[in-house]
């Protein structure tokens, strides 16, 4: 998952709606702000999934939390 995938799904939804220029600009900014908040989270997720060390560390933290 990366931000592009989210964008794709959001825009495939938005483009069906026949918005005018002003409305598209409004929505575009909304999406921009939304992704701004979500990007670090998404990147963090990707990093954990891509890096074995990070993955194991995450797993360890998780299992510590659930009492393993």
Determine if 55 is a binding residue for another protein (CB under 8 A).
Answer: yes
Whole-number Å distance between alpha carbons of 6 and 10? 6
Q: Is 23 in the site for another protein (CB under 8 A)?
A: yes
Question: With binding defined as CB under 8 A, does residue 49 bind another protein?
Answer: yes
40 with 3: CB under 8 angstroms?
A: no
57 close to 12: Cβ distance less than 8 angstroms: no
Binding site for another protein (CB under 8 A): 1, 5-6, 9-10, 12-14, 16-19, 22-23, 25-45, 47-49, 51, 53-55, 57-59, 61-63, 65-66, 68
């Amino acid at each position: 998952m990366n931000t592009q995938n989210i964008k794709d799904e959001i825009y495939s939804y938005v483009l069906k709606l026949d918005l005018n220029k002003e409305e598209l600009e409004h929505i575009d900014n909304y999406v921009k702000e939304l992704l701004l908040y979500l990007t670090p989270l998404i990147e963090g997720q990707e990093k954990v999934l891509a890096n074995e060390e990070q993955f194991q560390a995450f797993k360890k933290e998780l299992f510590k939390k659930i009492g393993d």
